[in-house]
Amino acid sequence: MPAVSKGDGMRGLAVFISDIRNCKSKEAEIKRINKELANIRSKFKGDKALDGYSKKKYVCKLLFIFLLGHDIDFGHMEAVNLLSSNRYTEKQIGYLFISVLVNSNSELIRLINNAIKNDLASRNPTFMGLALHCIANVGSREMAEAFAGEIPKILVAGDTMDSVKQSAALCLLRLYRTSPDLVPMGDWTSRVVHLLNDQHLGVVTAATSLITTLAQKNPEEFKTSVSLAVSRLSRIVTSASTDLQDYTYYFVPAPWLSVKLLRLLQCYPPPEDPAVRGRLTECLETILNKAQEPPKSKKVQHSNAKNAVLFEAISLIIHHDSEPNLLVRACNQLGQFLQHRETNLRYLALESMCTLASSEFSHEAVKTHIETVINALKTERDVSVRQRAVDLLYAMCDRSNAQQIVAEMLNYLETADYSIREEIVLKVAILAEKYAVDYTWYVDTILNLIRIAGDYVSEEVWYRVIQIVINRDDVQGYAAKTVFEALQAPACHENLVKVGGYILGEFGNLIAGDPRSSPLIQFNLLHSKFHLCSVPTRALLLSTYIKFVNLFPEIKTTIQDVLRSDSQLKNADVELQQRAVEYLRLSTIASTDILATVLEEMPPFPERESSILAKLKKKKGPGTVTDLEEIKKERSSDMNGSAEPASVNASAVSTPSPSADLLGLGAAPLTNSAPPPSSSGSLLVDVFSDSASAVAPLAPGSDDNFASPDLASSEVVSEEPADTVHDADELFHKFVCKNNGVLFENQLLQIGLKSEFRQNLGRMFIFYGNKTSTQFLNFTPTVICSDDLQPSLNLQTKPVDPTVDGGAQVQQVVNIECVSDFMEAPILNIQFRYGGTFQNLSVKLPITLNKFFQPTEMSSQDFFQRWKQLSNPKQEVQNIFKAKHPMDAEITKAKIIGFGSALLEEVDPNPANFVGAGIIHTKTTQIGCLLRLEPNLQAQMYRLTLRTSKEAVSQRLCELLSEQF
């Protein structure tokens, strides 16, 4: 910076500032300011032209007055005039005034832009620096429009001085952040990367900040920066503290630049070049080694700089997730920080270890620190550190330590801060369910959870425990006994009353044989809580009472007296009044058989992902350890994943729990005549379970008639380019009778479908979920129809974003038109680049002929008349085959309905047979179809007969339907 001459002291400004500071009151200050403003205004309007020094002095005074909080409505033109001065101090004050006081809508903006252009073209580094600083400080869209094309040229010009390059890089970064659409990508992008090799470390630091931001949006444009960044990082890491004297901070060489380079490398997967990859590994090992060395200074600045580089290196190791040795070393280093006296280091260590716990390479190493983390949970004074400890315990939990971790969380919950109690409750509920081997332990844990933190137990938690108890025959008696004992406490939380009311209403008969829990004692115990509960809980208890009428006829009179009381029949709440009236009437006039039918035990719930996990994800936000580690670490079955297929009456289907999924695949909500736990959430497929969910037939007409597909049958995608179609026939055939679910899944990618069809038209939503923390690049899904299929099926696909961020999903819409009948299925081919490796996979897209079925109702007479008309041998196809699944009548009905045909009741003389009818709609014709399925339970065989007006259609439909049984 040029030296300030003796005349630049601006004594008048110093006197004015002194006068302001000496004012005894606000009024005196305003009076002095008004006097000065009048003086300045008269000077600016005077006939005598002011010299540059006077203009500068008065503009400085105006700027000082503005900073004191007073409005300035003149002097702008004089500030603009200062920009044309050749004296540094005058130009500097002009730019400073403009940066602070001139807005982007000012009429003077054109004059200001002209002055800036003149300074940028002057090649005077001092003036260019002032102009660039002004552009960056204002940073408006107008500035970006005027200079976004000029600044890159200055940045990459060979004759630009280092100080100007620094300013240009940071100015361009500012404009890109405010108006990214106005910064053009061009030839300069390849040249700006080479600034990473610049001799001046200040230029390298500024360029790294710019390239990192640009690479996040345009990774392909700047991928050559990886090798240069590794090379520069290697030179810094291996240098001595004396080699980079101007950029060494408390014996740490260039810590800010090192951190920026490590962040830049996190924009990309591990380098493909073995030499570059090896050099980067050496750098990271060197950083980890230096962390073990004794400190070269006791000052906090030294440890802060050293640890900043170390934590950024660990973040890069976690991001790459490809070097087991480095991951374990990083985990051990973080383990040392868990007991560091510095709170911030303990916090950062816990946070980083949460991410490490999700890596298969370092999960076991993280688990070795469980005692330290539990101790932190108990002794830490800072609530934010305790919260990170809870997160880490949740992340490191698996079957081997689940009971210990859940017990420690429950112990901590009693004294936990109110701000994190709900989150801990959700995590305890998820872990108890996910890793329960003994379901009695699960029931005990949840009831203990309600006892300790009842106010923080959301509806999703007690809904879930009820669903699990209903679905598990082996735990129902124990649950009834446990809740009965828990309700005997003098003070019970209302959520416990809800759980107790529901479970005793369903399974109270299992403990009624014990005199200590006789029907009357159960009823009196529940009714003693009635007057203390809210209206929704009272409504649930009334439903329990009417259930008791069916379970225990001996206390029917007692219950009727309660329902008949004025407090119920004349209740101010219309819901309670209506329930009391209807339940009393039902118990009075209904026969025993009718009561048994209406009030029968709740059927098992369809198995879905836990709604508690969905709530936790929503609470924590996307991209956090709560959702990503669920996919990446040991993937265990949901505790109910092994439940037996449940036979459910189509007229009384339970309401399933709400849940969430990476792909967000929803299904139609179901209803039930009884009041089960319900929520407004959608049904979604379970992406976290390796086992097939239980199959529960749903109401006729429901699109999603079956649970999620067996994810274990998904094949692993080859790391190399391959043309093999991932046949996964079992997975493909599961979509014959349903429209929603997971089509394919491996460690990188999940593909889900949601479809709807009407006559010969259909629409399919394909969801691609990135299960990693690394971007997918050049993501290109293509739907391919063979030459034979193209004339019969018109498919229109919409393009998707070629970049899929880690943990994100993209959606593709496919519009479908069936022109004529077809036999094959289209192929979905997906190509993308992950971690430097090209990925190529193909799966069959489940667009099958039966999707264009429209059900047709007909009488027995019409059916057999039509059946005889289709008696030509070429019109009939018959298949006799062995049953592959349990021969359950209700499941069979649901599959026939899901296949698309109408299920015709009381048509076949043999009531054990199943008969269906429908019409296949194509653009060119309509094809009638009749089917008959004859099960032989003794031989475990089926005979399937299909008759249509077209032989090929009969053959294809027979093939598709045979695979379902």
pLDDT, tens digit (0-9, with 9 covering 90-100), for 431-441: 888 888 888 89
CB atoms within 10 A of CB 410: 19
Q: Which pLDDT score is estimated for 774?
A: 83
SS3 249: strand
Q: What is the distance of C-alpha 282 from the center of its chain?
A: 34
374 and 325, same domain (yes or no): yes
| CA–CA separation, 320 and 315 (whole Å) | 9
344 and 486, same domain (yes or no): no
Strands 252-253, 725-726: pairing is unpaired
Strands 837-844, 725-726: pairing is parallel
Share of the chain residues as helix, strand and coil, in percent rounded to the nearest 5: 55, 10, 35
The confidence band for 614, taking pLDDT boundaries of 50, 70 and 90, is low
HSE-CB at 932 with a 13 A cutoff on CA atoms is 20
Q: Which pLDDT score is estimated for 615?
A: 64
Helix axes 125-138, 109-121, angle to 10 degrees: 140
| CA–CA separation, 549 and 556 (whole Å) | 5
Find the length of the chain.
965
Domain range for 381:
320-395
Rounded mean pLDDT of 145-157?
A: 87
DSSP class of residue 945 equals: E
Q: Which pLDDT score is estimated for 635?
A: 34
Residue where a domain stops, chosen among 395, 423, 446: 395
Residue 95 predicted with pLDDT over 50: yes
Positive or negative, the CA dihedral 459, 446, 624, 638 is negative
401 and 505, same domain (yes or no): yes
Backbone angles phi, psi at 797, to 5 degrees: -115, 145
CB atoms within 10 A of CB 922: 20
Give Cβ neighbours of residue 761 (< 8 Å, ≥ 6 apart). Answer: 815, 816, 817, 818
Residue 637 predicted with pLDDT over 60: no
The confidence band for 678, taking pLDDT boundaries of 50, 70 and 90, is very low
**Residue 11 CB-density burial (10 A; 0-12 exposed, 13-18 middle, 19+ buried):** exposed
Rounded mean pLDDT of 203-222?
A: 90
Q: Which pLDDT score is estimated for 218?
A: 85
The confidence band for 651, taking pLDDT boundaries of 50, 70 and 90, is very low
Tell me whether residue 311 is in a domain: no
In this predicted model, what pLDDT tens digit does every residue of 246-297 receive, in sequence order? 788 888 888 999 999 999 999 988 888 899 999 999 999 999 998 888 888 8
Q: Which pLDDT score is estimated for 861?
A: 80
| CA–CA separation, 371 and 34 (whole Å) | 69
H-helix or E-strand containing 361? Answer: none
519 and 557, same domain (yes or no): yes
Q: Which pLDDT score is estimated for 171?
A: 92
Give Cβ neighbours of residue 727 (< 8 Å, ≥ 6 apart). Answer: 844
SS3 602: coil
Nearest CA among 717, 757, 743, 672 for reference residue 841: 717
The confidence band for 168, taking pLDDT boundaries of 50, 70 and 90, is very high
Q: What's the number of domains the chain is made of?
A: 5
**Under 8 Å between Cβ of 385 and 351:** no
Q: Which pLDDT score is estimated for 500?
A: 92
Residue 884 predicted with pLDDT over 70: yes
| CA–CA separation, 112 and 117 (whole Å) | 9
Q: Which pLDDT score is estimated for 501?
A: 92
**Residue 819 CB-density burial (10 A; 0-12 exposed, 13-18 middle, 19+ buried):** middle
**Under 8 Å between Cβ of 255 and 309:** yes
Angle at 78 between CA 76 and CA 80, to 5 degrees: 70
Helical residues (DSSP H) of 472-534, grouped into ranges: 473-487, 494-507, 519-530
Residue 668 predicted with pLDDT over 70: no
Angle at 759 between CA 758 and CA 762, to 5 degrees: 45
Tell me whether residue 635 is in a domain: no
769 and 880, same domain (yes or no): no
Q: How far is CA 266 from CA 139, 226, 314, in A?
A: 27, 10, 11
| CA–CA separation, 326 and 277 (whole Å) | 13
Q: Which pLDDT score is estimated for 28?
A: 92
- To the nearest 10°, the Cα dihedral for 717, 721, 723, 726? 0
Tell me whether residue 492 is in a domain: yes
| CA–CA separation, 248 and 256 (whole Å) | 10
**Under 8 Å between Cβ of 456 and 425:** yes
| CA–CA separation, 181 and 41 (whole Å) | 42
Residue 15 predicted with pLDDT over 80: yes
What's the CATH code of the domain at 949? Answer: 3.30.310.10
The confidence band for 726, taking pLDDT boundaries of 50, 70 and 90, is very low
Q: What is the distance of C-alpha 432 from the center of its chain?
A: 22
Tell me whether residue 263 is in a domain: no
**Residue 710 CB-density burial (10 A; 0-12 exposed, 13-18 middle, 19+ buried):** middle
Residue 542 predicted with pLDDT over 90: yes
The confidence band for 656, taking pLDDT boundaries of 50, 70 and 90, is very low
**Token pair 């093939």 is at which residue?**
959
Tell me whether residue 233 is in a domain: no
Angle at 806 between CA 800 and CA 810, to 5 degrees: 25
Give Cβ neighbours of residue 701 (< 8 Å, ≥ 6 apart). Answer: 897
Residue 697 predicted with pLDDT over 60: no
**Residue 923 CB-density burial (10 A; 0-12 exposed, 13-18 middle, 19+ buried):** middle
Q: Which tokens go with 932?
A: 């008959």
User: Where is mean pLDDT largest: 98-107, 417-426, 571-580, 771-780?
Assistant: 571-580
Nearest CA among 633, 174, 128 for reference residue 367: 633
DSSP class of residue 218 equals: -
| CA–CA separation, 261 and 271 (whole Å) | 14
Quote the mean pLDDT of the chain. 80
Residue where a domain stops, chosen among 529, 564, 596: 596
Q: Which pLDDT score is estimated for 47?
A: 64
User: Where is mean pLDDT largest: 170-179, 867-876, 937-946?
Assistant: 170-179
19 and 68, same domain (yes or no): yes
Q: Which pLDDT score is estimated for 748?
A: 85
Residue where a domain stops, chosen among 61, 76, 91: 76
880 and 841, same domain (yes or no): no
Q: Which tokens go with 352?
A: 């980083």
Q: List residues bridging with 752 in a β-sheet.
A: 742, 767
| CA–CA separation, 851 and 921 (whole Å) | 9
823 vs 678, more confident: 823
CA-atom Rg of the chain in angstroms = 37
Q: Which of 25-39, 102-116, 124-138, 414-428 has the lowest mean pLDDT?
A: 102-116
**Token pair 């649901």 is at which residue?**
894
Q: How far is CA 602 from CA 427, 435, 493, in A?
A: 28, 25, 24
Q: Which pLDDT score is estimated for 259?
A: 93
What's the CATH code of the domain at 515? Answer: 1.25.10
Backbone angles phi, psi at 184, to 5 degrees: -80, 135
Helical residues (DSSP H) of 599-657, grouped into ranges: 611-620, 625-632
User: Where is mean pLDDT largest: 163-167, 183-187, 712-716?
Assistant: 163-167
Q: Which pLDDT score is estimated for 31?
A: 92
Nearest CA among 661, 842, 856 for reference residue 767: 661
In this predicted model, what pLDDT tens digit does every residue of 372-429 receive, in sequence order? 898 888 888 888 898 889 999 998 888 888 899 999 989 888 888 888 888 888 888 8
In this predicted model, what pLDDT tens digit does every residue of 50-60 receive, in sequence order? 888 888 888 99
815 and 874, same domain (yes or no): no
787 and 876, same domain (yes or no): no
Residue 768 predicted with pLDDT over 60: yes
Binding residues: 11-12, 43, 53, 57-61
**Token pair 């393009």 is at which residue?**
799
| CA–CA separation, 958 and 131 (whole Å) | 78
Rounded mean pLDDT of 192-203?
A: 88
What's the CATH code of the domain at 750? Answer: 2.60.40.1230
Q: Which pLDDT score is estimated for 601?
A: 83
Rounded mean pLDDT of 444-468?
A: 85
Helix axes 494-507, 519-530, angle to 10 degrees: 150
Q: Which of 255-269, 306-320, 512-526, 944-958 has the lowest mean pLDDT?
A: 944-958
417 and 550, same domain (yes or no): yes
Q: Which of 217-231, 469-483, 636-650 has the lowest mean pLDDT?
A: 636-650
Tell me whether residue 618 is in a domain: no
Tell me whether residue 891 is in a domain: yes
**Token pair 């929704």 is at which residue?**
536
What percent of the chain lies above the pLDDT cut of 90?
17
**Token pair 């002057």 is at which residue?**
122
Tell me whether residue 183 is in a domain: no
Rounded mean pLDDT of 637-652?
A: 33
SS3 706: coil
What percent of the chain lies above the pLDDT cut of 70?
85
H-helix or E-strand containing 740? Answer: strand 740-745
DSSP string, 880-923: EEE-SS---HHHHHHHHHHHTSEEETT-SSSTTSEEEEEEEE-S
Give Dmax (Cα) for the chain: 117
Residue 785 predicted with pLDDT over 70: yes
17 and 39, same domain (yes or no): yes
927 and 787, same domain (yes or no): no
